[in-house]
Structure 1
Amino acid sequence: MMNKPINVKKQKRNEQARETTLAVTEKTELMKFLLEKLAGKGRNHIKGILARGQVSVAGKKTTQYNHPLEVGQQVVISWAQVGNEEKLVGLKILHEDQDLIVINKEAGLLSIASEKEKKETAYHFLMEHVRLVNPKNRIFVVHRLDRDTSGVMMYSKSKEVQQLLQNSWKESVQDRRYIALVEGAVQKPEGTITSWLTESKTLKMYSNPTPNGGQKAITHYKVLEKNQNYSLLEVRLETGKKNQIRVHMQTLGHSIVGDKKYGSTQNPIGRMGLHALEIKFTHPTTGAIMHFKTDIPGKFLRMVK
Structure 2
Amino acid sequence: MSIQSQVVTEDEADIRLDRWFRRHFPGLQQSLIQKFCRTGQIRVDGARAGTDTRLMPGQTIRIPPIPIAAEPKPASRVDPHDAKDLQQAVIYQDDHVLVLNKPYGLPVQGGPGITRHLDGMLDALRFGAEHRPRLVHRLDRDTTGVLLLARTPGTAGKLAAAFRGRDVEKTYWAVVAGRPVPVEGRIDLPLKRVGGGRGERTAPADRDDPEAARAITDYRTLDNAAQKLSWLELQPLTGRTHQLRVHCVALRAPILGDEKYEEPDQNRAFTALIEGLSSDLHLHARRLVLPHPAGGTLAVEADLAPHMKATFKTLGFHAPPPRPPERRR
- TM-score class, shorter-chain normalisation, is 0.5 to 0.7
Matched residue, 1:8: none
Residue 13 (structure 1) aligns with: none
What displacement does 1:97 show?
Answer: 2.1
Structure 1 unpaired stretches of 5+: 1-82
Tell me what 2:238 maps to: 239
Shift of 1:221: 0.5
1:230 corresponds in structure 2 to 229
Partner in structure 1 of residue 41 of structure 2: none
The answer on whether the counterparts of 1:96 and 1:102 sit within 8 Å (CA) in structure 2 is: yes
CA contact (8 A) 1:165 1:172 kept: no
For 1:225 and 1:257, the matched residues in 2 are separated by 15
8 Å contact 1:186–1:254 — kept in the other structure? yes
For 1:23, the equivalent position in structure 2 comes to none
Identify the residue that residue 276 of structure 1 maps to in structure 2: 285
Aligned match for 2:128, one of 129, 133, 153: 133
TM-score with structure 2 setting the length: 0.61
2:96 aligned with 1:99, yes or no? yes
Q: Which amino acid aligns with 2:216?
A: I
Deviates more, 1:273-282 or 1:178-187: 178-187
Query: For 2:229 and 2:257, how far apart are their aligned partners in 1?
Result: 12
Residues 144-155 of structure 1: pairs in structure 2 closer than 5 A: 144-155=138-149
Q: 1:183 to 1:137 in 2, by over 3 A?
A: same
**Structure 1 residues 272 and 89: alpha-carbon distance in aligned structure 2, compared to 1, 3 A threshold:** same
C-alpha distance in structure 2 between counterparts of 1:295 and 1:94, whole Å: 10
Q: Distance in 2 between matches of 1:172 and 1:146?
A: 19
**Would you tell me which structure has more helix in proportion to its own residues?**
2
The worse-fitting range, judged by mean Cα deviation, of 202-211 and 250-259 is 202-211
Amino acid at match of 2:183: P
Opposite residue 128 of structure 2, the aligned amino acid is V
CA contact (8 A) 1:192 1:219 kept: yes
| C-alpha separation in 2, matches of 1:211 and 1:234 | 29
The one-letter code matched in structure 2 to 1:233 is L
TM-aligned CA deviation for residue 257 of structure 1: 0.7
Moved over 6 A (4+): none
Three-state SS of the structure 2 residue aligned to 1:137 is coil
Indicate if the aligned counterparts of 1:172 and 1:281 stay in contact, CA closer than 8 A: no
Aligned equivalents of 1:156, 1:123: Cα separation in 2: 12
Partners of 1:166 and 1:142 in 2: CA distance: 5
| d(CA) in 2 for partners of 1:85, 1:230 | 39
In structure 2, the CA distance between the partners of 1:133 and 1:246, relative to structure 1 (3 Å rule), is: same
The CA distance in 1 between the partners of 2:177 and 2:283, in whole Å, is 12
| Equivalent residue letter for 2:295 | G
Q: Counterpart amino acid of 2:289?
A: K
Residues 35-114 of structure 1: pairs in structure 2 closer than 5 A: 86=81, 87-89=83-85, 92-114=89-111
Quote the sequence identity (%).
Answer: 25
Which amino acid in structure 1 is aligned with residue 298 of structure 2?
A: M
Q: Does structure 2 retain, via aligned residues, the 8 Å contact 1:180–1:273?
A: yes
Q: Which position in structure 2 is the counterpart of 1:179?
A: 173
Q: Deviations along 1:105-157, whole A, 9 cap, x unmatched?
A: 11111112223223x32223332231x625x5312110111111000011112
Q: Within 1, Cα distance between the matches of 2:216 and 2:133?
A: 30
Structure 1 residues 172 and 244: CA distance shift in structure 2, 3 A:
closer
RMSD (Å), alpha carbons: 2.3
The change in CA–CA distance for 1:123 and 1:84 in structure 2 (over 3 A counts) is closer
| Aligned residues of 2:166 and 2:237 also touching (Cα < 8 A) | no
What is the Cα deviation at residue 159 of structure 1? 2.8
> What is the Cα deviation at residue 88 of structure 1?
2.6
Give structure 2 stretches of 5+ with no counterpart. Answer: 1-77, 272-276, 317-329
Q: Structure 1 stretch 186-195 or stretch 213-222: which is displaced more? A: 186-195
